[in-house]
Amino acid sequence: MATISQENIGLQHEKIIIQLTKDDYLPSVQKSLKKLSRDAAIPGFRKGMVPIGHIKKIYGQSLFTDEVLKAAGSKLEEYLIETKAEIFARPIPAESQVQYTFNPDMPEDYTFEFEIGTRPAFEIPLFANTAAIPLHKVFITGDMLQEEIEKLQLKAGDMSETEEVQSENDVVHVEIKEENQDGQIVDDGINTKHSLLLKYFADDVRTMLMNKKVQDSITTTVGEAFDKEFKDAILKDLS
């Protein structure tokens, strides 16, 4: 049975020590060897008839190592859940961790050390003076609710290809290339591709794109292409 201990090694810095016995991992090693013996396809043997000794000779080292490390990781996970540890990120192997050479022919007890950073406990006295805290009432109109519903429907909906542009929620594929003052494409200039909703385009461009079929195209400038409401956000995204 594995034993687990924890010690403080610094400010918000803890070490977790896991001591594994052979009983913690050997049953899993034997189970994995038997499964490989049944499932492995090895020349010279019928499937399901490969001797465990032969499997151990081929896969024993890697399988043994995997099961030992898996057992250590499992015990660590159980400990963190049981203690409800408040930690930052994932535990990392301690600098003092012994680097083992795992030998399937000589199973032994192993000790693993992990370091964790713990979250500091603190309180924010938000309600120390409730008289100074303004309370706001938020009113949601029917239009606001409908707009949010349409956004959720658009995000959660399934996409399908159409033969022509028919709706402001259709996606248009845009290719942006940088030109010089003479209207020539700059070799090392901006050359990007994006997919945008039709409703993001300015009225004139939107009219030009409506009812366009697959492989059709139009040419316009970035400055004139997009609706004023969305232009800044789109230009920032395209940069």
pLDDT one digit per residue (tens) for the chain, 239 residues: 899 999 999 998 999 999 999 999 999 999 998 888 888 888 888 887 888 888 888 888 999 999 999 999 999 999 999 999 889 878 999 988 888 989 999 999 999 999 999 988 888 776 656 566 778 898 999 999 998 998 888 778 777 778 888 888 888 888 888 888 877 888 887 777 888 888 888 888 888 888 888 888 888 887 788 877 777 777 777 66
Whole-number pLDDT of residue 239: 60
Helix (H) or strand (E) holding 20: strand 13-20
Helix, strand or coil, per DSSP, at residue 1: coil
Token pair of 197 as six digits:
């909703």
- Residue 88 pLDDT: 84
Say what the pLDDT of residue 128 is.
Answer: 58
In whole angstroms, what is the distance from residue 98 CA to residue 111 CA? 8
Residue 119, both tokens: 């979250």
Tell me what pLDDT residue 127 has: 62
Q: How far is CA 184 from CA 189, 192, 224, in A?
A: 11, 16, 19
DSSP at 139? -
- Whole-number pLDDT of residue 109: 95
pLDDT of residue 126: 67
Sheet bearing 87-93, strands edge to edge: 3-10, 13-20, 110-118, 87-93
> How much is the pLDDT for 180?
83
β-pair partners for 111: 19
d(CA 70, CA 102): 13
Q: Which of 185, 188, 176, 191 is nearest to 223 (CA)?
A: 176
Please give the Cα distance from 58 to 37 (Å, whole number). Answer: 11
Distance CA 120, CA 105 (A): 45
Q: At what angle do helices 26-39 and 52-83 cross, to 10 degrees?
A: 130
User: Hey, which bits of 57-109 come out as E strands?
Assistant: 87-93
Among residues 205, 209, 198, 237, the alpha carbon closest in space to that of 221 is found at 205
pLDDT on residue 49:
82
